[in-house]
Amino acid sequence: MTYKACLFDLDGVLVDTAIYHFQAWKNLGTKFGYALTEEQNEQLKGVSRVESLNRILAWANYSATEEEKSTWLIEKNENYLDLISNMNPSEILPGVLDFLHQIKQAGYKIALGSASKNAEIILSKTGLIEWFDLIIDGNKVTKSKPDPEVFLKGASGLGFLPTECIVFEDAQAGVEAAKAGNMHAIGIGDAEMLRQADKVIPNFVGIQASELLQF
């Protein structure tokens, strides 16, 4: 199989924004007296903003009004934007730039497939934006991962079949989305957590793209 494109998730794959999401959700939790744990934050990876709030409210056993929910979604995001305001290229995860160099040189197209509505801001702040031929983010999809929409739009936007694309994902929901879209899925992180992936690597450090992607 000759692959033609690499589709990357953003948070947890190219940069580590989970710490900022965690901080912002924890801050929000004080409004309804709830202390979010790190373990719970793990379960929010790859999950959209609205769905994350719904899960937190369920854990807190708090039934919020629609008005509270929309206010809190705005507040959480304002806080998050504040927390990421100083992000810079030093926050690109180790090995990522080298890997992007390798695949670009090998002629692969590169797209983003992220649930985040803040993806472009983060890509700009870190300088990663210049690597991308196409950006599909939370503003361009109606269904969140594990629905494959974000990756299917990436593949078709680049003009390739799903089977010609490789997805890089750190979240279970993201790996599921890639597989549901009929794509090759490479998990980033813990193999136990990402069982559905075709292959799992801990991170991009020292990864030879030609070996991993077999070109």
- The residue range among 62-70, 85-93, 116-124, 197-205 that interacts with ligand BG6, by the rule CB under 6 A, is 116-124
- If contact means CB under 5 to 8 A according to the sort of partner, which of Mg ion, ligand BG6, none does residue 53 touch? none
Contact between 126 and ligand BG6 per CB under 6 A: no
Q: Tell me, residue by residue from 23 to 62, as one string, x for binding to ligand BG6 by CB under 6 A and - for no binding.
A: ---------------------xxxxxx--x----------
Question: How far apart are the C-alpha atoms of 86 and 88, rounded to whole Å?
Answer: 6
List the 199-201 sheet strands across, edge first. 134-136, 109-113, 5-8, 165-169, 184-188, 199-201
User: Which CB atom, from 115 or from 200, has the smaller least distance to ligand BG6?
Assistant: 115
3-state secondary structure labels for all residues of 105-174 = HCCCEEEEECCCCCHHHHHHHHCHHHHCCEEECCCCCCCCCCCCHHHHHHHHHHCCCHHHEEEEECCHHH
- If contact means CB under 5 to 8 A according to the sort of partner, which of Mg ion, ligand BG6, none does residue 170 touch? Mg ion
The DSSP symbol for 15 reads B
Q: Going by C-beta distance under 8 Å and a sequence separation of 6 or more, which residues neighbour residue 78? A: none
Q: Minimum CB separation from Mg ion for residue 19, in Å?
A: 13
**Shortest-Cβ-distance residue relative to Mg ion:** 12
Contact between 176 and Mg ion per CB under 5 A: no
- If contact means CB under 5 to 8 A according to the sort of partner, which of ligand BG6, Mg ion, none does residue 118 touch? ligand BG6
In the residue annotation, 9 being an active-site residue is answered as yes
Q: Report, in angstroms and rounded to the nearest whole number, the Rg of the chain calculated over CA atoms.
A: 17
Residues 141-180 that bind ligand BG6 (CB under 6 A): none
In the residue annotation, 16 being an active-site residue is answered as no
Token pair 């692969």 is at which residue? 108
Contact between 189 and Mg ion per CB under 5 A: no
Angle, vertex CA 152, rays to CA 147 and CA 157, nearest 5: 145
Query: Residues in the site for ligand BG6, rule: CB under 6 A?
Result: 10-11, 21, 44-49, 52, 77, 114-118, 138
